[in-house]
Structure 1
């Protein structure tokens, strides 16, 4: 019996190790993309997808792995020239994130990923609003949440003013917090400046949000 137990424990240790290797193989492809440091070929994304799937096959209950596969599929959708294929990938990515939330329902980055997926699908429905509210509820100071919601806020201001105004408080808060937070400052500032809404954001940067004024150059004559 002891031999069986030791064999069982040894198998699970090895499978966990191999699953982790596969996870990092996928992560090493995705991280440079997320930071804007590189581009990848379709074959590299396919390899990352296979690695993430292999990690899940070995440890299906680990949300970290299902979130990684979701992220890979989001990038595949972004790189796809076929809208129907991209939507299918985004649907699959959304389901993977929802699966992750079954084991860690308060994880803000997963909720932010769901917001992004709905945005990419153009589905500003009740589920989108639920994802948005949960992302900001669970991650009011999370950099990844700032980055997604800030970019969304700028997009909605330019393209869907009604949806922007319906969610203005949440959107503008994450835009300003994204500018204040050192991890997201450069990305959010670039988004704001590229959209030409710098003065608008300056008008929001008062009181407890006044720290955003300097990086925005609000007070320069």
Structure 2
């Protein structure tokens, strides 16, 4: 068992280092680098298949591959695979908000606005109400999917945006303005100092 943990951690560290380094880059990584990270995540899982972090890392690498391939084209298959890996991670670690937020994001890209999407959104907010990464991911979901959301989902996202403004104003604003959704989401936000500043 100790050997399995050690080998899993060896490959898991390589995948984690790669994925985290991509977040700091202004452009998307090369496909070769992405495939190496996916392979490392698979190797880590071959040693420790019940480790939710390795499933999450594989999902995030698959998401980058989908972005490079084009989410409306060849990348869709990788979004489906990423969703499945997020689901595996969620089964193993059901109170991890980042997994639920990322699951909702994959389903939003796939236009799967079903009960599973709604529950993932609720879980992300419930388990990570003050997590910066969750705020950004949910703001992204709201911005790209606003016209497909129910009134309840819009209210959930608006409340999340309001919380996120206190900790990451620029990041939230960037996500919403990229899709020209600021005014629409402002209409669902409770009036307070942050709302007035953001919606002015």
Aligned to 1:4: none
Change in 2 beyond 3 A, CA 1:131/1:20 = same
Aligned to 1:206: 191
CA distance in 2, matches of 1:57, 1:144: 28
Change in 2 beyond 3 A, CA 1:35/1:173 = farther
> Comparing both chains, which one has the higher relative contact order based on Cα–Cα distances under 8 Å and sequence gaps of 6 or more?
2
Aligned to 1:78: 67
Output one character per residue of 1:57-79: Cα deviation in whole Å (capped at 9) or x when no partner: 11111101111111111111111
Aligned runs of 1:47-196 on 2, under 5 Å? 47-81=36-70, 85-157=74-146, 160=147, 163=149, 165-181=151-167, 184-196=168-180
Q: Is the 8 A contact 1:149 1:171 kept in 2?
A: yes
Which consecutive unaligned segments of at least 5 residues does structure 1 have?
A: 1-11
Q: CA deviation at 1:54?
A: 0.7
Change in 2 beyond 3 A, CA 1:37/1:84 = closer
CA distance in 1, matches of 2:71, 2:166: 38
Q: Taking structure 1 as the reference length, what is the TM-score of the superposition?
A: 0.78
Give the CA RMSD over aligned residues: 2.4
Change in 2 beyond 3 A, CA 1:52/1:177 = same
Change in 2 beyond 3 A, CA 1:101/1:82 = closer
Structure 1 counterpart SS, 2:75: helix
Q: Taking structure 2 as the reference length, what is the TM-score of the superposition?
A: 0.86
* Structure with greater Cα Rg: 1
Aligned to 1:31: 20
Which consecutive unaligned segments of at least 5 residues does structure 2 have?
A: none
Structure 2 counterpart SS, 1:26: helix
